[in-house]
Chain A
Amino acid sequence: MSASFALNAALLACLSVLIATFAAPFFQAKHQIQRSLLCALLAASGLFAVIAGFSGLLSGGGSIALPLGLPWLPMHLRLDALGSFFLLVIGSLVLPVAIYSQGYLSHEKHLTPIAIFLPLFVLGMMGVVLSDDAFTFMLFWELMSVSSYFLVTHEHRHPENRKAGFIYLLMAHMAGLLIMGSFATLYAASGSFEFSAMREVEISPLWASVAFLLAGFGFGTKAGVVPMHGWLPEAHPVAPSNVSALMSGIMLKVAIFGFIRITWDLMGSGDFQWWWGALVLAAGSSSAVSGVLMALQQHDLKRLLAYHSIENIGIILIGLGLGMLLAQTGHPMLAALGLIAALYHTINHALFKGLLFMGAGAVLHKTGTRNMEMMGGLIHRMPWTAALFLVACISISALPPFNGFVSEWLTFQTALMAPQLGGALLTAIVPFSAAMLALAGALAATCFVKVFGVVFLGHARSDAVANAKEIDGWMKVGMLIPALCCLLLGLLPGLFIPLLDRVPQALLHTSILSSLNTASWIWLTPIDAAHASYSAPLSLIGMLVLGGLVFWWLHPKGTTIRRSKMWSCGNPHTHARMQYNATSFSQPLRRIFMGLYQPEEHEHIERHQHKLLTTRVKYIVHVSDMAVKHLYQPIGHFTLWLAKMIRHEHQRGIHAYLAYTFATVLFLLAVFT
């Protein structure tokens, strides 16, 4: 009974967004109604998805075959534990973003494209999670990619947005092709598009590796794993902020979902080979560190956040890779812990990255700029935005008592509990990934001190920022929900992990519940209390009591605070541009990691007659993405060169074309008979 309840809720979620898409064109003239309808239906869809996710995790899902699609292949939909969890992730961000959009889109002139493609985009993501055959999966996957392309190029009047959209579409389709190749491999083995048949079939190690590699590169491109991340820092900044919140918060997670679905579910942990886990771990470690290093050098707020998505995908992959290694070497309990750490970080990142993009959108909406060098002092003008943004900054920096810390803590525990796995490479890669995780976490904290310090603290660096206004109630509520979720997930992991545990129960047939101290929700003890324990509620209470006592003791009656001018070394003329800005804050790191960044620096000094009489100094520094410079551009140049080489072949007569056809037919006959 309740099995179908979860699935029905999920179908309702899909139906709401479908209605939103089809209703949008009818209200083109009435912006108010169009916007309210869009946001209400999106919010309903998010709510249904949350309900479906929770009830699917608690009491199991169900499956259904809709008579849609190809005549011999109805559309198979199924809600299992993995799908339920990702539906929960999707719903928990779609709901607040829908509320936020009600305020954010209030001044949007061209609403209709958003009103059509935003619900389609959400439908695509939900459909991928629900699909139970390869055909349906690819259908919804492409729906997600294509509709998000139209959202990325929403402001298509700027040429750089069109360029970003093109790169995005190109790489999304390359990814789609690879994923299709992976499904084709599995189809060849099982003879059926249905996932249930793919799960049953035994696949040879060689073909399993082919399917793994295709899936890994395909989903890795979509998730933004280094070095396939090139589209991500281009596409996320130019999309409207509510869309970037969804793209960064959940679309990347849908790619992670696809990867788990194919490797952990369809092929199964029995098929894992030792180098799979090592490869995922290496990809995760390099993404985590290079993502955050690139983020540190950005001064476009949304671009910076986009690079942080790469970092967080890396952290998720570290958890997954550890899980794969441990599952393959016969430690299912620890593998389950690694998987749970990865899933926990998945929902955490969805929440705090969604919140960060919404905050960046709020700032962009009120100041009209994404350039951090123009901002400053916004905490006085936009106190709500600042406080909520701070919550997200602390969460993403993996600091207690918020949620980012819990998932990184779990990942560390998995790495530390891993026994010696045998082989020099495996022996070295586990501690190496732990080291990279620690480095990425610490660098992320550095980066978010820079973000919050430069954007919200200090003095305003431009007039638009100095006169910014606070956001409206809708946007506040939209940002408040994920902020509260960040705190709750940080304080009460003991309550949430039993829910997550359904996923390894289904995929690995093990549970960590017996070792998790379920008797008391205060403690988080993944193996047992003697190994490792952490109690967020107790440490928060301890800090509150202690802080309260100190405050009470230091504030006897009658003490006042005197306000005075800031101390400026005796110089009466201070200027907002004398502050440290985003570029100067990251200067030490630029110097330390000079070899990695290879910054292009230009210094221009104007002098008045004598070389000591400097009148004006101009310093320009540009750090370009190494992957783009050394991987994408050569590939692009090679493709153009190749096209040039075979260009004249196009201009032959009809007999040449007939010869091509003949040769192709001969080749195909030779291969496939």
Chain B
Amino acid sequence: MTSFFFQLLQALLMVVLAPIAAGFVATTKARLQNRCGASIMQPWRDIRKLFSKEVVLAEHASWIFRFTPYVVFTATVMAASVVPSLLLDTPLSLTADVIALVALLALARFFLSLAGMDIGTAFGGMGASREMTFSALAEPAMLMSVFVLSLGAHSTNLTTMIAHTLSTPLLIQPSIAFALVAMLMIAIVETGRIPIDNPTTHLELTMIHEAMLLEYSGRHLALMEWASMVKLLLFATLIIDLFFPWGIGGDVNLLTIGLALAIWLAKLMVLFVVLAMIEISIAKLRMFEVPQYLGTAFVLAFLGLIIHYMLEVTV
């Protein structure tokens, strides 16, 4: 029961922390560019403001458009809740393994793209077309790179996979190195960061994610923005879980959890500083260079799989 309670707490922490994480990235970026930047609480303030604002819907928006923010938010939060951040052994993690987690995110994206097409503006369709095209290439690459670790652990359950990584001696395995690089590349695509997409852009012909949200307002927009922030935190935590899980709490007591929290936050900060550095030092890719980038990620992940079979399997 306590572990059940802590799991809910862990999920809640992910959701509450997500806007702060997004704010942290934005502030770090600003500081690195010698700007002062907004406080890291700014995304929280934006969301709160949006929640109290009125909703304006386009005239012939269908129920899909109003239904989508809830689907996107719940599917993303559901996916986030099965990713262990503080505690290793959480009962609800069994509900969905990594494949289901990827599929939950795909469900959110499916509805998001439909909402983009619902209004019938060219921007919405453009965003939907690009989002689905790029994710069609990113999603298999992500699955492949997760499978590299699944094969070693003989499991697709995150808990078992983390436990396996923790129990094996620290060796640099080439397959996992490939998987890590691929995963980092995919995480940038999936969370819509530079050099693929830019979350701060509005009304550019190269926008992807923002193009689908153009018609949203009020609480609907707040939910969508919040969901994309949760997704950023989810991917960071997933990378930590899969590749650097050391420090995650093994049993339920306050000391281990406190320690796990501190270690998790420290790892997140490192990842987000790296993300901010990437974002300020690279220009956005041209739209049709993205498939090459994604193809590279896919091939790297696939090579990781092959290398795992060829070199590392001991029969």
Contact = CB atoms under 8 A, between A and B. Distances in A.
Contacts of B32: none
Nearest to B97: A532
Given A431-B302, A567-B121, A580-B128, A445 B288 contact: no
Nearest to B310: A427
Contacts, number: 248
Given A413-B156, A523-B94, A539-B78, A438 B139 contact: yes
Interface stretch (A500-508, A546-554, A643-651): A546-554
A434 B147 contact: yes
B129 A584 contact: yes
A531 B96 contact: no
A453 interface: yes
B71 interface: yes
B133 A562 contact: no
A394 interface: yes
B282 interface: no
Nearest to A534: B100
Q: Which of A446, A450, A531, A562 has the most CB of B within 10 A?
A: A446
B51 interface: yes
Interface stretch (B109-117, B231-239, B252-260, B271-279): B109-117
Contacts of B78: 539, 542-543, 546
A431 B147 CA distance: 9
A377 B119 CA distance: 9
A606 to B, nearest CB: 22
B137 interface: yes
Given A547-B71, A584-B129, A564 B58 contact: yes
A550 B74 contact: yes
Interface string A403-446: 00100010011001101100010011011101100110111011
A457 interface: yes
A7 interface: no
A585 interface: yes
A529 interface: yes
Nearest to A592: B291
A-side binding surface: helix, strand, loop or mixed?
helix
A417 B154 CA distance: 7
B28 interface: no
Interface stretch (B36-44, B59-67, B242-250, B261-269): B59-67
A509 interface: no
A449 B110 contact: yes
Interface residues of A, number: 82
Interface in A509-553: 523, 529-535, 538-539, 542-543, 546-547, 550-551
Interface string A548-591: 00110010000111111111100000101011100011111101
B73 interface: yes
Contacts of A379: 62-64
Given A380-B60, A453-B113, A554-B219, A530 B120 contact: no
Nearest to B100: A534
A459 interface: yes
A453 B125 contact: yes
A377 B313 CA distance: 53
A532 B156 contact: yes
A406 to B, nearest CB: 10
B114 A566 contact: no
Contacts of A531: 154-157, 160
A587 B129 contact: yes
Given A530-B157, A531-B160, A539-B96, A562 B110 contact: no
B125 A579 contact: yes
B144 A435 contact: yes
A533 B92 CA distance: 11
B161 to A, nearest CB: 10
Nearest to A402: B107
B170 interface: no
B120 A376 contact: yes
Contact of A412 (B99, B124, B136): B99
Contacts of B136: 439, 442-443, 445-446, 589
A312 interface: no
Contacts of B121: 566-568, 574, 578-579
A435 B116 CA distance: 29
B122 interface: yes
A329 B214 CA distance: 55
A23 to B, nearest CB: 44
A530 B63 CA distance: 40
A565 B157 contact: no
A116 interface: no
A120 interface: no
A452 interface: yes
B30 to A, nearest CB: 29
B150 interface: yes
Contacts of A428: 306, 309
Interface string B51-91: 10011111110111000001101110110010000000000
Interface centre among B57, B133, B147, B305, by most chain A C-beta atoms within 10 angstroms, is B133
A170 B166 CA distance: 60
Contact of A539 (B104, B106, B116, B214): B104
Of the candidates B110, B116, B119, the one having the most CB atoms from chain A within 10 angstroms of its own CB is B110
A457 B117 contact: yes
A532 B95 contact: no
B235 to A, nearest CB: 17
Given A562-B55, A566-B215, A591 B288 contact: yes
B176 to A, nearest CB: 15
Given A416-B156, A431-B147, A453 B133 contact: no
A204 B144 CA distance: 40
A576 B144 contact: no
Interface in A123-145: none
Contacts of A431: 144, 147, 302, 305-306, 309
B122 A416 contact: no
A399 interface: yes
Given A435-B143, A534-B97, A566-B215, 11 more contacts: A427-B310, A431-B144, A446-B133, A457-B117, A530-B157, A532-B156, A533-B97, A542-B92, A546-B77, A554-B219, A592-B137
Interface of B: 51, 54-60, 62-64, 70-71, 73-75, 77-78, 81, 92, 94-97, 99-100, 103-104, 106-107, 109-110, 113-114, 116-122, 124-126, 128-130, 132-133, 135-140, 143-144, 147, 150-151, 154-157, 160, 214-215, 219, 223, 287-288, 291, 298, 302, 305-306, 309-310, 313, 315
17 contacts: A379-B64, A398-B103, A413-B156, A416-B147, A416-B156, A428-B309, A435-B143, A450-B132, A459-B120, A542-B78, A546-B78, A554-B219, A566-B119, A566-B121, A576-B120, A578-B121, A580-B128
Interface of A: 376-377, 379-380, 390, 394, 397-400, 405, 409, 412-413, 416-417, 419-420, 424, 427-428, 430-432, 434-435, 438-439, 441-443, 445-446, 448-450, 452-454, 457-459, 523, 529-535, 538-539, 542-543, 546-547, 550-551, 554, 559-568, 574, 576, 578-580, 584-589, 591-592
